[in-house]
């Protein structure tokens, strides 16, 4: 059997069963994007995310500073979604000896920009030779309360931090390779290359979220994580889903269904959370009911989105 | 300029200067194999090491359980060398969808064997697609005292945990590909495939070591790290260097200089430490003097060993 036959989440289940262990200091272990342990009474978060050549980026096409920025952002986003802040990081990368020093230095300049924006320190790492570039980044964060995915409550509202779907449209524009792009297209492309983790929402998440996730695989697929782990039904209200003007122009120009981008586009790194409070700094897009599944008004939505295999 | 032109350590210097930050909780940052931070009064260790296809292993040749074991061992060894014990780990790997599930599961069985032997928990990770297999493992450990490389004292003795050079001889035998191997050759090969981190020495290191390092790049190159960071001269006594019987047979059979293997072979994951105490469970192989460099009796040794580029 090939790993592609069972998919990413099937694979995680299989491997987890091999290595499972007991440790009373582990608050959240395998199966979440972020692990949480108790160290002398402090809740410490761990997460890891990688950018691989030809999977996540094309070496000759990408701006390496964006690559460094995005590498840090995808990780910080996972930590923020748990109500935490990033503290320390280790960078493990592979490259061939023929790699231009200027490329690697530019990746690190992008990471430095992220260090200054998100406020963390790089404290170590590893360099190994390979004919393929890959940048793996391990983050340590801390939180006062672990905000997970299994604690959404019936009666909660669903809140979204900003319109989504932009990143996927940006990626399609990059892959299209047309030379001249309109302003709204440049904006969508920048959203793909340089997403910003919503660290500005950390207090909101920590204080008010019953459950929370960042949108990396797509709004619906990520909400399915909350739905399944919390055993609740999530209802999105179509007329409340925010629509980005640039994405609208894109969909009009290329004759695309905008809801396909909003519901299933990935890599936006916006925050979706559930809360029983009224929040003024986020967009209310739905609510939680008893039941299961993710719905758009009365229609159950398919669980699809980004899968690595 | 290519990164191969400045080498691994030159590259680390260049990149460190880009991302340096201040954080009063960081006890040991970039430049060591293991970082150390203070979390609520507890000294927490972080390290990362990777095994990459065609760099560290050939997929069709390696026993994947050995690969999993070695992946954990190289990391645990770094933590033990700081006087610590491993606690938690995250595994980040890349594979193509055509990878056999049985191969990945066998790697995880090797990791499980390491979990049971070294006592730690895997609490998370990441899976990403790539046409190349790579297993990156992040470890979190803890220690009561960070034993570093910059604290060797003039007057210290140099102690080694066991004979070294076996792993490199084993690697050469693997690359030779001869079908029938003698017993001593099988032993050397097993030393390469399945090294054991010296977690049994953790109390010795914690109590008695002024400085310590594990031998991953070769005895001399790793001692140069201590010599340079501690600003001392290290003298190895040739007549005290332990000689492994299998390595001796190997060198006799293939007409090799055994000191080339002992001094410059890598990946033994034995421990070398300096202490002003008399230790009965380790081998005294030399002493520390004022000055600089690593010597074999009166001869200054070249700083060579494993370099990734």
DSSP line for A249-293: HHHHHHT--HHHHHHH------EEEEESS--SSSEEEEEEESS-S
Please check whether residue A138 touches B, CB under 8 A. Answer: yes
Q: Which of residues A114, A143, A172 is at a domain's end?
A: A143
Q: Which of residues B116, B143, B170 is at a domain's end?
A: B143
Q: How far apart (Å, rounded) are the C-alpha atoms in residues A136 and A94? A: 9
Strand partners, A43: A38, A143
Report the residue of chain A nearest B39, measured CA to CA.
Answer: A39
Q: How far is A120 from chain B (nearest CA, A)?
A: 8
Residue bearing tokens 């070496």: A59
Is position A306 within any domain?
Answer: no
Please check whether residue B21 touches A, CB under 8 A. Answer: yes
Please check whether residue A32 touches B, CB under 8 A. Answer: yes
My answer on whether A222 and A285 are in the same domain is yes
Is position B11 within any domain?
Answer: yes
Please indicate if the annotation marks B49 as binding a ligand: yes
CA distances from B69 to B167, B195, B259 (A): 15, 8, 28
Chain B residues touching A4 at Cβ < 8 A: 96-98
Q: Record the tokens describing residue B133, joined without a space.
A: 């297999």
My answer on whether A74 and A194 are in the same domain is no
Is position B309 within any domain?
Answer: no
My answer on whether B170 and B133 are in the same domain is no
Interface mutation target, options A14, A29, A125, A266, chain B, most CBs of B under 10 Å? A125
Please indicate if the annotation marks A108 as binding a ligand: yes
Interface mutation target, options A24, A34, A48, chain B, most CBs of B under 10 Å? A48
Strand partners, B53: B57
Q: In 10 A of CB A169, how many CB atoms?
A: 27
My answer on whether A120 and A196 are in the same domain is no
Q: Record the tokens describing residue B80, joined without a space.
A: 């033990």
My answer on whether A181 and A296 are in the same domain is yes
Centroid of chain to Cα A74: 6
My answer on whether B130 and B168 are in the same domain is no
Chain A residues touching B122 at Cβ < 8 A: 19, 21, 29-30
Chain A residues touching B144 at Cβ < 8 A: none
ipTM score of complex: 0.92
Closest Cβ opposite residue B108 in set A19, A34, A46: A19
Chain B residues touching A144 at Cβ < 8 A: none
Q: What is the pLDDT of residue A32?
A: 83
My answer on whether A17 and A79 are in the same domain is yes
Sequence-ordered alpha helix ranges (H) in A119-244: 166-176, 183-193, 202-208, 219-230
Residue bearing tokens 């090939």: A2
Please indicate if the annotation marks B92 as binding a ligand: no
CATH code at position B241: 3.90.650.10
Please identify among residues 186-225 of chain B the ones whose CB lies closer than 8 Å to any CB of chain A. none
Interface mutation target, options B99, B108, B122, chain A, most CBs of A under 10 Å? B122
Q: What is the pLDDT of residue A306?
A: 61
Query: SS3 for A193?
Result: helix
CA distances from A304 to A11, A124, A265 (A): 17, 37, 10
Q: Which of residues B143, B167, B195 is at a domain's end?
A: B143
Chain A residues touching B217 at Cβ < 8 A: none
Please check whether residue B41 touches A, CB under 8 A. Answer: yes
CA distances from B207 to A161, B76, B84, B202 (A): 52, 19, 11, 9
- Residue A199 DSSP class: G
My answer on whether B25 and B101 are in the same domain is yes
User: Which residues of chain A fall short of a pLDDT of 50?
Assistant: none
Residues 6 or more apart whose Cβ sits within 8 Å of residue B289: B154, B232, B233, B234, B235
Closest Cβ opposite residue B2 in set A30, A54, A99: A99
Q: What is the pLDDT of residue B175?
A: 87
My answer on whether B72 and B184 are in the same domain is no
My answer on whether B91 and B205 are in the same domain is no
Strands (DSSP E) contained in chain B are 26-28, 35-39, 42-52, 85-95, 121-129, 134-143, 157-160, 211-214, 233-236, 271-275, 283-289, 293-296, 299-300
**In which domain, by residue range, is B83 found?**
3-143
Q: How far is A249 from chain B (nearest CA, A)?
A: 32
Q: How far apart (Å, rounded) are the C-alpha atoms in residues A150 and A226? A: 6
Q: What is the pLDDT of residue A7?
A: 86
Instruction: Count structural domains, chain A.
Output: 2
In tens digits, what is the pLDDT along chain B, a chain of 309 residues? 999 999 888 899 999 999 987 899 999 998 888 999 999 999 999 999 999 999 999 898 899 999 999 999 999 999 999 999 999 999 999 999 999 999 999 999 999 999 999 999 999 999 999 999 999 999 999 999 999 999 999 999 999 999 999 999 999 999 887 777 899 999 999 999 999 999 999 999 999 999 999 999 999 999 999 999 999 999 999 999 999 999 999 999 999 999 999 999 999 999 999 999 999 999 999 999 999 999 999 999 999 866 555
My answer on whether B83 and B46 are in the same domain is yes
Strands (DSSP E) contained in chain A are 26-28, 35-39, 42-52, 85-95, 121-129, 134-143, 157-160, 211-214, 233-236, 271-275, 283-289, 294-296, 299-300
Q: How far apart (Å, rounded) are the C-alpha atoms in residues A291 and A280? A: 27
Q: How far apart (Å, rounded) are the C-alpha atoms in residues A24 and B139? A: 18
Please check whether residue A135 touches B, CB under 8 A. Answer: no
Residues 6 or more apart whose Cβ sits within 8 Å of residue A108: A68, B15, B18, B19
My answer on whether B163 and B215 are in the same domain is yes
- Residue A105 DSSP class: H
Q: What is the pLDDT of residue A309?
A: 56
Q: Record the tokens describing residue A220, joined without a space.
A: 């619906």
Please indicate if the annotation marks B68 as binding a ligand: no
Is position A149 within any domain?
Answer: no
Q: How far is B199 from chain A (nearest CA, A)?
A: 19
Residue B10 in contact with residue B24, Cβ under 8 Å?
no
């Amino acid at each position: 059997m090939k790993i592609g036959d069972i998919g990413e989440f099937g694979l995680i289940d299989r491997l987890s069963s091999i290595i499972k262990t007991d440790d009373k200091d582990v608050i959240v272990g395998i199966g979440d994007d972020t692990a949480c342990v108790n160290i002398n009474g402090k809740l410490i978060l761990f997460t890891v995310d990688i950018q691989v050549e030809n999977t996540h980026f094309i070496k000759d096409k990408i701006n390496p500073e964006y690559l460094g920025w995005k590498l840090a952002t995808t990780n910080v986003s996972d930590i923020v979604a748990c109500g935490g802040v990033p503290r320390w990081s280790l960078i493990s990368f592979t490259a061939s000896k023929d790699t231009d020093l200027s490329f690697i230095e530019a990746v690190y300049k992008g990471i430095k920009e992220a260090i200054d924006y998100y406020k963390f320190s790089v404290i170590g790492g590893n360099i190994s030779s390979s004919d393929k570039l890959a940048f793996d980044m391990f983050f340590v964060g801390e939180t006062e309360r672990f905000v997970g995915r299994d604690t959404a409550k019936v009666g909660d509202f669903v809140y979204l931090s900003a319109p989504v779907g932009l990143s996927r449209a940006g990626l399609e524009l990059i892959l299209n390779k047309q030379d001249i792009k309109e302003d709204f297209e440049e904006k969508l492309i920048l959203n793909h290359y340089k997403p910003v983790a919503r660290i500005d929402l950390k207090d909101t998440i920590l204080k008010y979220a019953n459950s929370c996730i960042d949108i990396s695989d797509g709004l619906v697929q990520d909400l399915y994580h909350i739905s399944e782990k919390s055993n609740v039904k999530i209802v999105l209200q179509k007329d409340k889903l925010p629509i980005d003007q640039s994405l609208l122009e894109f969909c009009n120009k290329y004759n695309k269904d905008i809801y396909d981008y909003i519901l299933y586009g990935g890599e936006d790194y916006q925050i979706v959370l559930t809360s029983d409070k009224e929040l003024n700094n986020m967009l209310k897009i739905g609510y939680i009911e008893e039941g299961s599944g993710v719905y758009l008004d009365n229609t159950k939505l398919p669980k699809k989105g980004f899968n690595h295999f």
